Amino acid sequence: MHQPFIKRTTYLSLCCGSLVFLPQLALADHSSQGPAPTIMSTVEVTADRLSEFADNNPGMVEVMGRTEIESRNMLSVEEALNGMGGVEVKQSTGVGSRISIRGSGKSGGVLVLLNGRPLNSNQFGSVDLAGIPVETIESITVFKPPVPVWLGSGATDGAISIVTKGIRGNGASPKSHVTKLRGAVGSYGTVEASASHQMQLESGSSVMASATGKHRDGKRANKDLDSGNFTLHWDGDITDTQQFEINGRYYTSDSGSPGPVDNPTPNARQSYEKISFDSRLSGLVGSNGDYTLNLYGDTIELEDKSESGLVSTLNDDKIGLKAEYNWNDDQDRWAIRTSGLIENDDLDHTLSGEHNRITAGLGMQADRKWDDWTLTAGVRGDRVTGFDFNPGVSAGIHHVLGGGWVMKANIGHSVNIPSFGQLYQPSHGSIDQVRGNPDLDKEKILSMDGGLEYSYGKTARLQMTLFRSETNDPILYQRDAITRIYSPVNGGSAWRHGIELNGKYAFNDNLRLEANLILQDSEVEDTGNEMTYTPTVKGKLTLLSTLSQTKTRLETSLRYTGKQYSEMENLEDQRLDDYITLDCKAIQPFTLAGMQAEWFVNINNLFDTGYSIHYGYPDEGVRFMTGVNLTF
């Protein structure tokens, strides 16, 4: 795969030019000499304030911070998300991950933000979470639908905000530099290694580099994977109230595309490369406001080799600018949150030609607090090439009842724009399995939820939420009985509703229990069938403990997923049966030559349960991984 040299050079020139342009903008009014910049301990940019928003606003959210990610030895972003209540992430058959929030079976509809910028707005729709090193993550916040519209468009089924930090963001460590190494081996020929180094410079700025490489042989033929990523980060103070940071990421993978067991493709292959660039300027505006300005871009090269030998290539270049501003009054009664985005995405595909999508949007949310009450209301408008104007609204209420009880309720309307893959031809390793539909219309979704939450300090948290979504023109997939090729179509209308129960209880400092249960029903009204990949029951029970004598950390997760259908016709021969899996994890800290070290063992699907996540793609059964982490 070789993208034309001039195209890539132009893209990188734009990215590099921003390194000069943005700092000059920030320094324009601060050219006089002054005291040396100080670390921005008082600056709270939008991404960092999400935990505050989660605590004080109606949205149903889950938050996982760096401390928990490290203590539970999460090896990837996907694993971290799977450890959160009501969230499930499964690797797609090609590039990217399939994300389900609160039991939704839709393909797409979850907005993924990295430091405030959208990751999955590329036209072909993939969310390649594997390209984000877990070592660089500061926090992950999951917003369950309906999502506040100021976060951005494309969040009809939820939103995930991932925030990364350099060493300046980790005030718990007095060291000027930190190095982390990881090596692991596992079943099916898995070999994985990663290294990261963070260093604080004398100027007060910090730099970080991270690299990961992985090889895996699958249980089935042609399911091997080789992947690697490299990340560079720099952040520093421009003034005592302004900070600038730069992130560059490279991710590559080469993998087989085995196809489903009833239509195998043992010779199909896929290779993928992605270069991403992010620059973020953030700071204070007066005593009550803060802002962020993100300039970002991606360049993607994807090559698919089909079973017949046909090779198709896809080049996708995206550049965007996103701005956010937050304001609170002196009495902390009013909060105004605004965001604006403009993004250009150029795509060139062998089979369907060149396509361009320009997205421009504005969003605003107002929060009003009265003692134990908080009301929110938001409005958004996005204009997308080929899909005209797309409005979004959201509103919510948060009421503290007392005694640890809180009531929350939300409602929102949003639009989901079909991806390039859905419209034309998916280059996701599925060239032999799926075709696009250029006549697809956008989905229009009305979502609502309401619930009670009880908290008892850090000991207990219980949450019960009723939810419902109604979709006009839902995008559904049907399979041709002869060619066995899937293609998307619009249904007339569909609905999904149910109840979600979340619970966390700490018996003591060394023993904690977490539980999530989703009971739901769904229907495509035109056919009377259930929505695809939408099980009636989903449950997860996780026990976390620490042995006081040896400091061994143990984690056991029991998961249950009820029956579901892969076909919009609910064909019995393609029904996915219910299943139960058990995953176990052990982490043993020790000291090696003065370095902090951990030995870990992960076992997935301990009882070798046979099941399929997608029709025709069986799980690989019991598998393990063991390795060592070093920090110095």
Q: What is the four-CA torsion angle of 530, 531, 532, 535, rounded to 10 degrees?
A: -70
| Residue 129: both structure tokens together | 């979470």
Question: pLDDT at position 167, please?
Answer: 46
- Quick: pLDDT tens for 363-392: 999 999 999 999 999 999 999 999 999 999
How many structural domains are present in the chain? Answer: 1
| Residue 560: both structure tokens together | 């249950």
Positions in the chain short of pLDDT 50: 1-48, 167-173
CATH number of the domain to which 399 belongs: 2.40.170.20
**Which strand (E) or helix (H) includes residue 293?**
strand 289-305
Q: How far apart are the C-alpha atoms of 444 and 467, rounded to whole Å?
A: 17
User: Which range marks the domain in which residue 9 is found?
Assistant: 5-631
DSSP 524-565: ETTTTBPPTT--SEEEEEEEEEE-TTT--EEEEEEEEE--EE
Q: How far apart are the C-alpha atoms of 451 and 209, rounded to whole Å?
A: 43
Question: pLDDT at position 120, please?
Answer: 81
| Residue 231: both structure tokens together | 């990340």
Q: What share of the chain is helix, strand, coil (3-state, %, to 5)?
A: 10, 55, 35
Neighbouring residues of 207: CB distance < 8 A, sequence distance ≥ 6: 166, 198, 199, 201, 232, 233, 234
Give the pairing type, strands 159-164 and 111-114: parallel
Question: pLDDT at position 509, please?
Answer: 92
User: 586, exposed or middle or buried, with CB in 10 Å at 0-12, 13-18, 19+?
Assistant: middle
Question: pLDDT at position 55, please?
Answer: 64
Residue 78 zone, left/alpha/beta (φ > 0; ψ -120 to 50; rest): alpha
Question: pLDDT at position 87, please?
Answer: 93
Half-sphere exposure of 260 (CA within 13 A, CB side): 16
- Quick: pLDDT tens for 63-100: 999 999 999 999 999 999 999 999 998 876 667 778 89
Q: How far lies 215's CA from each of 189, 193, 375, in Å?
A: 7, 9, 50
User: 4, exposed or middle or buried, with CB in 10 Å at 0-12, 13-18, 19+?
Assistant: exposed
